[in-house]
Amino acid sequence: MMRQYELVERVKRYNPHADEALLNRAYVYAMKAHGTQTRASGDPYMSHPLEVAAILTDLKLDEATIVAAVLHDTIEDTDATKEEIATLFGPQISELVDGLTKIKKLDLVSKKAAQAENLRKLLLAIADDVRVLLVKLADRLHNMRTLHYVPPEKRTRIAEETLDIYAPLAGRMGMQDMREELEDLAFRHFMPEAHATITARLDELGRKAGPVIEEIERELESKLAAFGLKADVSGRLKRPYSVWKKMERKSVSFEQLSDIIGFRIIVATVADCYAVLGIVHTTWPTVPGRFKDYISTPKQNDYRSLHTTVVGPGRQRVELQIRTEDMDNIAEFGIAAHALYKDGRANDRSALSRESRAYNWLRRTIETLAEGDSPEEFLEHTKLELFHDQVFCFTPKGRLIALPRGATPIDFAYAVHTDVGNTAVGCKVNGRMVPLLSELQNGDEVEIVRSPGQSPPAAWESIAITGKARAAIRRATRTAVRNQYAGLGRRIIERAFERAGKLFSEDKLKAAVPRLARTSLDDVLASVGRGEIFSGDVVKAVYPDFKEGQAAGSAPDPKAGGWFGMKKGGGLVFRVPDGKQEAQLPSIPIRGLNGDLPVHFAPDGGAVPGDRIVGILTPGKGITIYPIQSPALMAFDDQPERWLDVRWDIEEDHRQRFPAQINVTAINEPGTLAQIAAVIGENDGNIDSITVIGRSPDFRDLKIDLEVWDLKHLNAIISQLRTKTIVSQVERVNG
Ligand code: MN
């Protein structure tokens, strides 16, 4: 394991001004935090963060990145906290470590994620500092180097994830060395047989090609020297994974692959690059279609180089990359190259900070990273400010849904499908039931609980933030309201026919539609439901000879009961069947409920306006309203289909009181009760009952049922009671 002084030395080699004390502090802190933890290899755990830091010192990264690497697993795997790290190492480093912790948590979700491209986007959305990604890649590289210690059943998944996500990410960040090593390590574990075959072939070929490579190197160098060009030429065999990919892509066998040797020619200036190209092209025949000029047109990740393939000495096809040293640095280290320290001085100390000239480049690169390959995706995402106004969430099957920040599960449901939105009744986020109003966070796995035949409450329209969801909710509520009236109308009409002693049939009613000046059967039903047409008139329209005196609608059936209907402007009211009388039952002003079910409050300490509320559906009984903090709700945790999202619907000018319950512990002396009652009365509370539920020599415990306007009112009464010297404790009873 790397020693403390070795870490410091590694950093000081390229950055002599490095804060030695800071590095030492990080080393000691991580060492203490990880304590006796060990790796799968049996090594002390601490060896891992140190190796990760070492990889990053090879990239000559700034000390904040190195310290973050040393600390990267502390928050997730030890008792360390973000706050503690902020105190000891400053906010910048604590943010970096926190970013890494978030990504690590994401691994749990990503196991299921089907789309690698989207996961890369998610990574980018979460890592708002590019250094977080650099540490993450180094972390993955060390984990891949030690993957053979991990149990075989886990290896395949980790290797696949590396091929799908981390290697391409390194590639997009321009870090070719990192990408190739990740690919080859992953290839070995993901497809052991293919890897073994190709490696064996490459080894064999390497033995034969060795002299050929040297010969070509010599020939190239001397040719160029003859024109006065100083060039560094090096040839190598392609890496196993890139050979494999080429075989797959072109569906050819190993023998058919002609270009498995590549040469790199490094020269001093851009002009030299083109001079070399001219010499190469006039000396050997070129392979058509293989010339690419990435110097005049750099790749989006800033990669610059000339590419060409020629038929070289011994009729061997030779692939050439011609570039300057600067270009070569960027080709190998990508983003990290911009933070390179040179000649013991910072090349650009703030290269990774917002102000720097390199920042714009980084920004552009990150945008490129996140772009998909399709132009639609490109357009969709270039509109965004580096995704920070977006959240990315998963369906249980791993589909990724992008939503604007602030989106709720309702928006999520509609983004998945309009039907999913329309039938949504509840929601689980990361396996836990949450209200449909909650704000979604990056990486959340969202499962929408549906109930067929449900339609969305009108109130959702004001909760949803996406246009798609709002429009769908408007459409669905219009239909639902209309259906509700039509259903109501049908029951009224059926009963009217029954009382008139006439047979009801839909066909007969259909024939009578024009006589009622309506356009369709549904229209007639809805009109009756809304009270625009009297049921007696409908009977008359179907049976014109029907006598007035027998008209229906005059004698309500006492057993008929009632139902909740929509009030103009939303909200529910209790109605009796003839639609004329408002019920004596108090209406519960709650939005979010459609249908004709009775609504009541939880028996103990019900909700008052201002409380966040939830409705629990009991088939055959109706809906019970609980305040969200009610412990009684735990009993329904495993029955998400019964949870309904509801909201208060209070009209300013139509105030009513609501029952609430408080427990008061007061001194046991004469006059206590009167004083308490006085406080409640002075504060405009109505007392329903006071029960003594406990008594000791000094105190008595009281349960008080009272009626209040809302939560603010209730809290005001509670705090007034608490100011009295005779009162020792006041608590609200929550269902
Ligand atoms: Mn790690």
Q: Is residue 340 predicted with pLDDT exceeding 60?
A: no
Asked if 138 and 38 sit in the same domain, the reply is yes
101: CA distance to ligand 1 center in Å? Answer: 10
77: CA distance to ligand 1 center in Å? Answer: 9
74: CA distance to ligand 1 center in Å? Answer: 9
Asked if 666 and 595 sit in the same domain, the reply is no
Asked if 680 and 720 sit in the same domain, the reply is yes
Ranges 314-323, 391-400, 520-529, 561-570: which has the least confidence:
561-570
Q: What is the CATH number of the domain that holds 96?
A: 1.10.3210.10
Average pLDDT over residues 600-621: 77
Asked if 63 and 157 sit in the same domain, the reply is yes
Using CA atoms, how far apart are residues 55 and 49, in angstroms rounded to an integer?
Answer: 10
Average pLDDT over residues 372-378: 36
Using CA atoms, how far apart are residues 262 and 319, in angstroms rounded to an integer?
Answer: 5
Grade residue 593 by pLDDT with cuts at 50, 70 and 90: low
367: CA distance to ligand 1 center in Å? Answer: 26
Please give the residue range of the domain that contains residue 584. 573-648
User: Is 232 among the catalytic positions?
Assistant: no
The number of folded domains in the chain is 6
Average pLDDT over residues 332-350: 54
- Residue 683 domain-assigned? yes
445: CA distance to ligand 1 center in Å? Answer: 23
Grade residue 499 by pLDDT with cuts at 50, 70 and 90: confident
Which residue type is seen at 267? V
633-674 tens-digit pLDDT = 888 877 666 677 677 776 666 677 888 899 998 887 778 888
171: CA distance to ligand 1 center in Å? Answer: 21
- Reference 613, options 625, 605, 603; nearest CA is 625
User: What is residue 355's predicted lDDT score, i.e. its pLDDT?
Assistant: 32
Asked if 26 and 165 sit in the same domain, the reply is yes
Last residue of a domain, one of 190, 222, 238: 190
Grade residue 588 by pLDDT with cuts at 50, 70 and 90: low
Q: 127: Cβ–Cβ under 8 A, 6 or more apart, which residues?
A: 99, 103, 133, 136
Asked if 407 and 446 sit in the same domain, the reply is yes
Ranges 352-366, 418-432, 494-508: which has the least confidence:
352-366
Q: Is residue 305 predicted with pLDDT exceeding 90?
A: yes
Q: Is residue 120 predicted with pLDDT exceeding 70?
A: no
Average pLDDT over residues 512-529: 85
73: CA distance to ligand 1 center in Å? Answer: 5
Coil/strand/helix, residue 544? coil
191: CA distance to ligand 1 center in Å? Answer: 24
52: CA distance to ligand 1 center in Å? Answer: 8
Q: Is residue 265 predicted with pLDDT exceeding 90?
A: yes
Asked if 379 and 318 sit in the same domain, the reply is no
76: CA distance to ligand 1 center in Å? Answer: 10
61: CA distance to ligand 1 center in Å? Answer: 18
Q: Is residue 597 predicted with pLDDT exceeding 80?
A: no
Average pLDDT over residues 41-68: 92
Using CA atoms, how far apart are residues 678 and 721, in angstroms rounded to an integer?
Answer: 10
When the pLDDT of each residue in the chain is averaged and rounded to a whole number, the result is: 78
Q: Is residue 590 within 8 Å of residue 625, measured between CB atoms?
A: yes
Q: Is residue 227 predicted with pLDDT exceeding 70?
A: yes
Question: Of residues 386 and 157, which shows the higher confidence score?
Answer: 157
- Residue 557 domain-assigned? no
User: What is residue 574's predicted lDDT score, i.e. its pLDDT?
Assistant: 35
139: CA distance to ligand 1 center in Å? Answer: 5
Q: Is residue 687 within 8 Å of residue 700, measured between CB atoms?
A: no
Highest mean pLDDT of the ranges 209-213, 266-270, 586-590, 717-721 = 266-270
Q: Is residue 383 predicted with pLDDT exceeding 50?
A: no
Q: What is the CATH number of the domain that holds 420?
A: 3.10.20.30
241: CA distance to ligand 1 center in Å? Answer: 25
115: CA distance to ligand 1 center in Å? Answer: 23
Q: What global pTM score does this model have?
A: 0.51
- Residue 653 domain-assigned? no
Grade residue 30 by pLDDT with cuts at 50, 70 and 90: very high
User: What is residue 647's predicted lDDT score, i.e. its pLDDT?
Assistant: 74
Last residue of a domain, one of 173, 190, 207: 190
Q: Which of 6, 9, 20, 77 is catalytic?
A: 77
- Residue 122 domain-assigned? yes
223: CA distance to ligand 1 center in Å? Answer: 49
Asked if 500 and 589 sit in the same domain, the reply is no
- Residue 699 domain-assigned? yes
Using CA atoms, how far apart are residues 112 and 399, in angstroms rounded to an integer?
Answer: 9
User: What is residue 202's predicted lDDT score, i.e. its pLDDT?
Assistant: 85
Using CA atoms, how far apart are residues 159 and 320, in angstroms rounded to an integer?
Answer: 31
Last residue of a domain, one of 648, 672, 704: 648
Q: Is residue 571 predicted with pLDDT exceeding 90?
A: no
Ranges 190-194, 304-308, 356-360: which has the least confidence:
356-360
User: Is 77 among the catalytic positions?
Assistant: yes
Grade residue 576 by pLDDT with cuts at 50, 70 and 90: very low
Taking the CA atoms of 627, 632, 638 and 643 in sequence, report the sign of the dihedral they define. negative
- Residue 565 domain-assigned? no
User: What is residue 368's predicted lDDT score, i.e. its pLDDT?
Assistant: 52
85: CA distance to ligand 1 center in Å? Answer: 17
Asked if 321 and 376 sit in the same domain, the reply is no
Asked if 186 and 200 sit in the same domain, the reply is no
Both tokens assigned to 583: 């019920």
Asked if 608 and 705 sit in the same domain, the reply is no
Which residue type is seen at 604? D
**Would you tell me how many other CB atoms lie within 10 Å of the CB of residue 724?**
17
User: What is residue 113's predicted lDDT score, i.e. its pLDDT?
Assistant: 47
Q: 81: Cβ–Cβ under 8 A, 6 or more apart, which residues?
A: 75
103: CA distance to ligand 1 center in Å? Answer: 11
Using CA atoms, how far apart are residues 705 and 34, in angstroms rounded to an integer?
Answer: 55
User: What is residue 377's predicted lDDT score, i.e. its pLDDT?
Assistant: 35
Average pLDDT over residues 236-258: 79
Asked if 499 and 624 sit in the same domain, the reply is no
- Residue 561 domain-assigned? no
422-480 tens-digit pLDDT = 889 889 988 888 888 888 987 788 999 988 877 787 778 888 888 888 888 888 877 77
Highest mean pLDDT of the ranges 137-151, 152-166, 388-402, 676-690 = 137-151
Q: Is residue 678 predicted with pLDDT exceeding 50?
A: yes
Q: What is the CATH number of the domain that holds 719?
A: 3.30.70.260
49: CA distance to ligand 1 center in Å? Answer: 6
- Residue 345 domain-assigned? no
Q: Which of 20, 76, 215, 523 is catalytic?
A: 76
Using CA atoms, how far apart are residues 483 and 506, in angstroms rounded to an integer?
Answer: 16
162: CA distance to ligand 1 center in Å? Answer: 14
Q: Is residue 111 predicted with pLDDT exceeding 70?
A: no
Q: Is residue 727 predicted with pLDDT exceeding 70?
A: yes
User: What is residue 584's predicted lDDT score, i.e. its pLDDT?
Assistant: 31
